[in-house]
Structure 1
Amino acid sequence: MIDFDPFATIIEGHLDHVSYFNEETHYTIAKIKTSGVENPVTVVGFMAAVRPGESLRISGTWETHPKYGQQLKINNYEVTLPGTVEGIKKYLESGIIKGIGPSMAGRLVGHFGEMTLEVIEKNPERLFEVPGIGKSKAASIESAWKNHHSVRNLMQFLSEMGVKTSYCGRILKAYGDNAVDILRENPYLAAKDIPGTGFYIADAIARKLGFMQDNPERVSACILHILEQRANDGHVYLYGSRLIEKCRDIFNIGYDEAIDGAYNLSETGEIVIEKKSDHFEEDALYLKELHDAEAGLAQRLLAYLSIPTAPFKIAQDDITGKVQKKLAIKLSREQLDVLEGVLSHRIAVITGGPGTGKTTLIRSLAAIFDFEGKKVELAAPTGRAARRLTEVTGRKAQTIHRLLGYNAMDGYFDRNRDNPIEAEAVIIDEASMVDTLLMYNLVAAVPVNSVLILVGDIFQLPSVGPGNVLSDMIDSGKIPVFYLNKIFRQAEESPIIVNAHRVKDGEFPVFEKPDGSVKITEFCFIEQNKSDRIPPVIVELCRKTIPDTFGFDPVEDIQVLTPMHKGIAGTLNLNQVLQKALNPNPSIVEAMGSRFKEGDKVMHLKNNYQKEVFNGDIGTVVEINGKKKQLYINYYGRVVGYDFEELDEVSPAYAISVHKSQGSEYPVVIIPLVTEHYMLLQRNVLYTAITRGSKMVILIGSKRAFEIALKNDKPRERLSGLKKKLETYSRL
């Protein structure tokens, strides 16, 4: 029962019709028919899970709209179940309870009369008394009734707490019918149990319920949230001084409370505090999972080095000769030296830029293991990178998650130290994309008497997830590293590859000069100093210039890559303008802050193992079902369904961040460069973006922004302890 404000206006009546309803926020404009009043009353505010015909009791304040006149602004409301036979019949006929239509409603009310709703709620076993209702039907009616009231109660509770009711589905999935009671008792449980948005839900509810800012549950939740956010930014740990600052500035938590909260979490085993000195401010604070992964990774990497490699059955010169003949290739002296070096270790890193022959070496290594009768597995961090690896090698490649046998039911990998991968050699491509947690799980599952070869471009951006694994391994000086520097003749003829290496070295690219007839070339720069002119130029390039001149598909072949999400040349704005220009389809849904149309190019934003869709996978919206509130996306021939409330896992992908493009290759890449993106105008960002294009790269923006990116060769700092642990553990 809701406590209504005694000074507010209270009206009772039934919902006549809904004039406006926002699916995401549940903001409603409706007409309420009250007894004794001829014209319905207009009410405005947040109402969830109500249907025309339902009886409502609403508390609110009168206000006068300049256009629509007097209306009642809703403060609180509650649904009152009908008590008359006719009212109950109309209520059930509305379809509000799944499985009960007009015919079934008539039979139920005809049998139970005014007791119908009480029977459904308290004595559902009596439903068998109604002709045509068997055990299965009775159970489905009982379940639908409970679900309806659970949803309604939770939505009403969330509305009162000022929390978006679009989170209802996730909360019910976590807590079921007891969701409201659980959240009232300890809202901060949601911070742990509901990934992504749980903390914001928890803190909003707690504030409304009167939790003090220094409540220990709140302090713990805030600290864990801060560490999780830092992990999302790529950091493995956070210094105590920064934790104190963030607790103070963001959450109004005092110095002593922050330190006490951190030590409490350390005692419960949720975080690890690595002592660096006698001062908390200098200590490194880790989420326990990340600390265990980083320490375990360092130990396991060093374990590979402690076991000598097995001798080859065939002389190395003979085997490389056979490989070159089998693959119809000619290896350079540099490549032969790298092969010899790699094959003399249990673990090794191969790094080089585009056109230096990394793929050729992967093919050669796999063929050598074939000749030796050893099973070899090829894998990459993402589905896109694995598919590309399959295409260029002609061999089966898979994601690292699939190689490790990720079990979506319990959230663990089937392959581990006790159940290792059954292969004598494992080769990982795009290794710079692998974060600390995934690399730890990989090395735990690859036996130390096998061979693990990591191939990647060290000059590209680091992983999206926490850590700087490949760089730390190389910089530690403890892991064997082999460099490919020579650009091959065919690659030397590609302006994309040549200019990518120039950018890597901090040199200004050499642009082809357009001839009079074709304004766009394979690698070109369109100078545009006015940022607001960049989106329309990109639209024209995608919609007309490139397709008409070169025959590329505007959606399938062209990818816009930008450093940031915000701003006029960020992903958010560019996706809006490109969606409008490239997809005229009227079938549309607005959910979780984004607008989706059938035919849209979209990207999945985080690993979802239940759906078997991974961070960075790109697909096409093939169906929007408003009745079921579901959207369907085709990923590489496999259709995956999403409830509307899950659509924060998906984003339009006409324009994506450079970080999200890693491991992918596109025929045409368009890269906007504006000074507003100053924080992310970095050489390795620009280099990564350029190396995503296979046939055409178009840069558009100001020369000033270009120069800033070229000069800025200091990547954003990532707090990672792997390098130090490799150095320390190697001395033990």
Structure 2
Amino acid sequence: MTTLEGHIERITFHNPDNHFTIARFKIPKTKKPVTVLGYLPDPKPGETLEINGKWETHAKYGDQLRIESFEVILPDTIEGIRKYLTSGFVSGLSAKKVLGIIDHFGEKTLEIIEREPHRLSEVKGIGVLTADRIATSWRRNHVVRSLMLFLREMGIKISYGARIFKEYGEDAMQIIQDNPYQVVRDIPGIGFVVADAVAQNVGVPKDDPKRIEACINHLVEQAVSEGHLFIYEDELIGKCAELFQIDREMAEDALISLSEDGSVFIEQDKRVSEVRMVYPKILYEAETGVADRLLARLSIPADLKGPDSVQITEEILRRLAIKLSPEQLKVLEGIFSHRVAIITGGPGTGKTTLIKSVATIYESLGKQILFAAPTGRATRRLSDVTRRKTSTIHKLLGYNLATGCFEKNEDHPIDADGVIIDEASMVDILLMFHLLKAIPMRAILILVGDAFQLPPVGPGNVLSDMIKSKKIKVFELKTIFRQELESPITVNAHRVRRGEMPFLTKMDIRSPLSGFYFIQQREPEKVVKTIVKLCTKTLPNFFNFDQLNDIQILTPMHRGEVGTINLNQVLQEWLNPNSGIPMVKGIPFKSGDKVMQLKNNYQKEIFNGDIGRVLSVQAGEEVLLVDYFGRSVSYGFSELNELTLAYAITVHKSQGSEYPVTIVPIMGQHFALLNRSLLYTALTRGKKLVVLIGTSRALEIALKNNQPQKRMTKLSVRLVN
């Protein structure tokens, strides 16, 4: 740990939303300032600090001190006080007023502002309101800094301080000390473990009911974050005891209390009397609601008599100028006799053609059919292939930004005779619940997806559970079309789906593009260098792919040398090296950067996973402009937590998208995440070329693991029973 004392010479960047700061820091008797970065609340040039931190070396910016903790050193000379107060640290003070205050109070100026701010009105030109404004500004800054110091002493990241202060204001310290577990409920991302550390430091007993309830909520939410809808009661109580030293009987009492207040729902397993499941109540209602509505649909015969095979063949040939395969024709003959049906199949089996054909036949019968998909990317792709208007499911349901609710429901249903949902494997239990509430019973619902892909990011595994129940009619396309059999991507994707090793072709720049390559590489550092070379030289120079628009890196995880975080920093330096303004967390967003939206923003009409390019960073206006599909979208600096660099993204984030080229590192370091479904999903994202880099051993691990983590759900059981 290094300790430096000096003053802030220049602030390179400060994010007011989370207080992340990059500054030049001048140490007495040294010629050049050093770069420091970390969390500093409202720093000002000229401010004197004692900083503790660790040196790190950035590939481009050199040595930097990452701040672990800091202490403000208040000036004790007249000149020092003048510089401090004119730096802008305290609002409402002009240079003239500062001189007047110092002339009046001398070296006691800061003491007066701190302890007797009402006396500021003794100074000519400073009224009661101005004195109050100065006092409020002073107090606010010192509350933030006191909060940061308090969190540091508790062993908590000071980055949490900004979010806590934003939520509670000047009462933050008092609220944390009175009930640390309130923070878990009120501020997303600050988990039980953080709050519990604070609680133990301020003397909250381990058997405090608030602690036990917060612990139970934490464990239930943790299960949900892993995709589960519930956690077994025995497992929950056991974790309370083993991980957090909570008496089992007290945990059971707290669970009953949470059940009574509606936070959780405890369901008895009908098959095994002593087994009980603990759901967040909202997810229990969603799962039972989905099951009830699907069963209700199944109980009502479809009132539409579909055309026969001759009529279908003639209509499709006339309108689409295509000839259907016998398999596709069989689906079209049968699908209209079901209120709800599933179309599934791997790449190259004709799902897209079938979707267009279903819509064409339905429209020829005078019916209105709507198309939707879970993400903006999937929606645009669906629109391109069907040549019809499509929307996200959220837009279809009329998401209201002001209320946070869907306007379409049982009372105000969607006006349509049929709804087709593409990429249905991405739909989680909550979204499916809202969708089924909004689709009128007279309409047919067709879910299209590849059940072998990764499950949704959100809780549940709806499409897979529906297929598993065998209650919903499933039309599985198995035949790969002849032209698709010529695609190495399609062939290898189906081999992976069957658990067979893909055909591993070495890249040869002297030969025509193959479509699928494997580059053997064991060392992570060399994998990174290989990716850089592919993006900057090999693929653009020898195969004419655009390094930014055509190529997408897909990796299983965020951390590690071949994770998204490191790859994005490295690739940004190579693919967009021009200097720019450093932004969030020390990673600069610059003009030309490839970025991705991290959450749905209905106001901007930009959705989770959308990828764009930074047009400009306007430091004066604190605005960043991003181009999405030819549309410019503005972000205030306080909104930049919605963005991340997107030269490399996770395989999960790529669902619903296709890219001309995908490069996929697959290493032993990814062991915990490697499974057949993840590998299959990564392969099927590439349209023209897929490049795997890593070890054949890692490929074997993924292929053998056909049991990705089982999600705790009961939808298939509810449909059967």
Q: TM-score range by the shorter chain?
A: 0.7 to 0.9
1:183 partner letter:
I
Residue 60 of structure 2 corresponds to none
Of residues 543, 552, 557, the one that matches 2:550 is 557
Residue 597 of structure 2 corresponds to 604
Residue 150 of structure 1 corresponds to 140
Residue 150 of structure 2 corresponds to 160
In structure 1, how many angstroms separate the alpha carbons of the residues matched to 2:185 and 2:282?
Answer: 14
Residue 354 of structure 2 corresponds to 361
Segment of structure 1 superposing worse, 600-609 or 511-520? 511-520
Segment of structure 1 superposing worse, 371-380 or 436-445? 371-380
In structure 2, how many angstroms separate the alpha carbons of the residues matched to 1:508 and 1:404?
Answer: 42
* 1:94 and 1:101 in contact (8 A); partners too: no
2:633 partner letter:
V
* 1:220-239 pair list within 5 angstroms: 220-239=213-232
1:153 partner letter:
V
The structural deviation recorded for 1:335 is 0.9
1:723 aligns with 2:713: no
* 2:496 and 2:680 in contact (8 A); partners too: yes
Segment of structure 1 superposing worse, 600-609 or 488-497? 600-609
The structural deviation recorded for 1:557 is 1.0
Segment of structure 1 superposing worse, 45-54 or 552-561? 45-54
3-state DSSP class of the match of 2:582?
strand
In structure 1, the gaps of 5 or more residues are 1-14, 34-42, 62-72
In structure 1, how many angstroms separate the alpha carbons of the residues matched to 2:469 and 2:381?
Answer: 30
1:618 aligns with 2:608: no
The structural deviation recorded for 1:345 is 1.1
1:472 aligns with 2:465: yes
Of residues 308, 330, 340, the one that matches 2:333 is 340
* 1:48 and 1:152 in contact (8 A); partners too: no
Of residues 670, 682, 691, the one that matches 1:698 is 691
In structure 1, how many angstroms separate the alpha carbons of the residues matched to 2:461 and 2:38?
Answer: 48
The structural deviation recorded for 1:258 is 2.9
* 1:307 and 1:346 in contact (8 A); partners too: yes
Segment of structure 1 superposing worse, 108-117 or 177-186? 108-117
In structure 2, how many angstroms separate the alpha carbons of the residues matched to 1:601 and 1:381?
Answer: 22
* Distance change (3 Å), C-alpha of 1:74 and 1:608: closer
* 1:560 and 1:670 in contact (8 A); partners too: yes
The structural deviation recorded for 1:181 is 3.6
Residue 12 of structure 1 corresponds to none
The structural deviation recorded for 1:538 is 1.2
* 1:474-623 pair list within 5 angstroms: 474-511=467-504, 517-518=510-511, 521-589=514-582, 591-592=584-585, 594=587, 596-609=589-602, 612-623=605-616
Computed over aligned residues only, the root mean square deviation of the Cα atoms, in angstroms, reads 4.2
In structure 2, how many angstroms separate the alpha carbons of the residues matched to 1:143 and 1:478?
Answer: 67
Residue 457 of structure 1 corresponds to 450
1:431 aligns with 2:424: yes
The structural deviation recorded for 1:201 is 5.2
* Distance change (3 Å), C-alpha of 1:452 and 1:240: same
Residue 283 of structure 1 corresponds to 276
In structure 2, the gaps of 5 or more residues are 29-35, 53-67
1:257 aligns with 2:250: yes
Segment of structure 1 superposing worse, 406-415 or 430-439? 406-415
1:486 partner letter:
T
How does the TM-score come out when normalised to structure 1? Answer: 0.82
2:7 partner letter:
H
Residue 66 of structure 1 corresponds to none
* Distance change (3 Å), C-alpha of 1:44 and 1:712: closer
The structural deviation recorded for 1:352 is 0.8
Of residues 295, 303, 316, the one that matches 1:302 is 295
* 1:75-474 pair list within 5 angstroms: 93-97=86-90, 102=95, 146=136, 149-150=139-140, 152-162=142-152, 163-197=156-190, 199=192, 202-276=195-269, 282-312=275-305, 317-318=310-311, 321-474=314-467
The structural deviation recorded for 1:456 is 0.2
* 1:319 and 1:371 in contact (8 A); partners too: no
In structure 1, how many angstroms separate the alpha carbons of the residues matched to 2:462 and 2:640?
Answer: 31
The structural deviation recorded for 1:463 is 0.6
The structural deviation recorded for 1:277 is 8.1
Segment of structure 1 superposing worse, 433-442 or 528-537? 528-537
The structural deviation recorded for 1:178 is 3.8
In structure 1, how many angstroms separate the alpha carbons of the residues matched to 2:437 and 2:184?
Answer: 30
The structural deviation recorded for 1:510 is 2.8
Segment of structure 1 superposing worse, 337-346 or 583-592? 583-592
How does the TM-score come out when normalised to structure 2? Answer: 0.83
* Distance change (3 Å), C-alpha of 1:213 and 1:25: farther
In structure 2, how many angstroms separate the alpha carbons of the residues matched to 1:54 and 1:695?
Answer: 56
Segment of structure 1 superposing worse, 513-522 or 679-688? 513-522
Residue 633 of structure 2 corresponds to 639
In structure 1, how many angstroms separate the alpha carbons of the residues matched to 2:478 and 2:100?
Answer: 81
The structural deviation recorded for 1:572 is 2.8
In structure 2, how many angstroms separate the alpha carbons of the residues matched to 1:222 and 1:186?
Answer: 14
3-state DSSP class of the match of 1:589?
coil
In structure 1, how many angstroms separate the alpha carbons of the residues matched to 2:528 and 2:580?
Answer: 24
* 2:216 and 2:255 in contact (8 A); partners too: yes
* Distance change (3 Å), C-alpha of 1:630 and 1:311: closer
In structure 2, how many angstroms separate the alpha carbons of the residues matched to 1:151 and 1:212?
Answer: 32
* Distance change (3 Å), C-alpha of 1:153 and 1:494: same
In structure 2, how many angstroms separate the alpha carbons of the residues matched to 1:325 and 1:104?
Answer: 83
* 1:430 and 1:456 in contact (8 A); partners too: yes
* Distance change (3 Å), C-alpha of 1:74 and 1:553: closer
* 1:49 and 1:155 in contact (8 A); partners too: no
* 2:371 and 2:391 in contact (8 A); partners too: yes
3-state DSSP class of the match of 1:427?
strand
In structure 2, how many angstroms separate the alpha carbons of the residues matched to 1:461 and 1:55?
Answer: 52
Residue 64 of structure 1 corresponds to none
* 1:349 and 1:454 in contact (8 A); partners too: yes
* 1:88 and 1:117 in contact (8 A); partners too: no
Cα-to-partner distance string for 1:209-238 (whole Å, 9 max, x where unaligned):
222233222222222222222212111111
The structural deviation recorded for 1:88 is 9.0
* Distance change (3 Å), C-alpha of 1:16 and 1:634: same
In structure 2, how many angstroms separate the alpha carbons of the residues matched to 1:396 and 1:698?
Answer: 34
* Distance change (3 Å), C-alpha of 1:508 and 1:557: same
In structure 2, how many angstroms separate the alpha carbons of the residues matched to 1:619 and 1:199?
Answer: 35
In structure 1, how many angstroms separate the alpha carbons of the residues matched to 2:334 and 2:207?
Answer: 58
In structure 2, how many angstroms separate the alpha carbons of the residues matched to 1:287 and 1:83?
Answer: 59
* 1:314 and 1:372 in contact (8 A); partners too: no
1:423 partner letter:
A
1:653 aligns with 2:638: no
Matched pairs, number: 681
In structure 1, how many angstroms separate the alpha carbons of the residues matched to 2:141 and 2:186?
Answer: 18
In structure 2, how many angstroms separate the alpha carbons of the residues matched to 1:725 and 1:278?
Answer: 12
1:662 aligns with 2:660: no
Cα-to-partner distance string for 1:103-136 (whole Å, 9 max, x where unaligned):
7878999999999979x98899x9xx989x9xxx
In structure 1, how many angstroms separate the alpha carbons of the residues matched to 2:342 and 2:77?
Answer: 74
In structure 2, how many angstroms separate the alpha carbons of the residues matched to 1:406 and 1:366?
Answer: 25
In structure 2, how many angstroms separate the alpha carbons of the residues matched to 1:405 and 1:305?
Answer: 26
In structure 1, how many angstroms separate the alpha carbons of the residues matched to 2:600 and 2:469?
Answer: 30
Segment of structure 1 superposing worse, 214-223 or 496-505? 214-223
* Distance change (3 Å), C-alpha of 1:466 and 1:165: same
In structure 1, how many angstroms separate the alpha carbons of the residues matched to 2:225 and 2:563?
Answer: 20
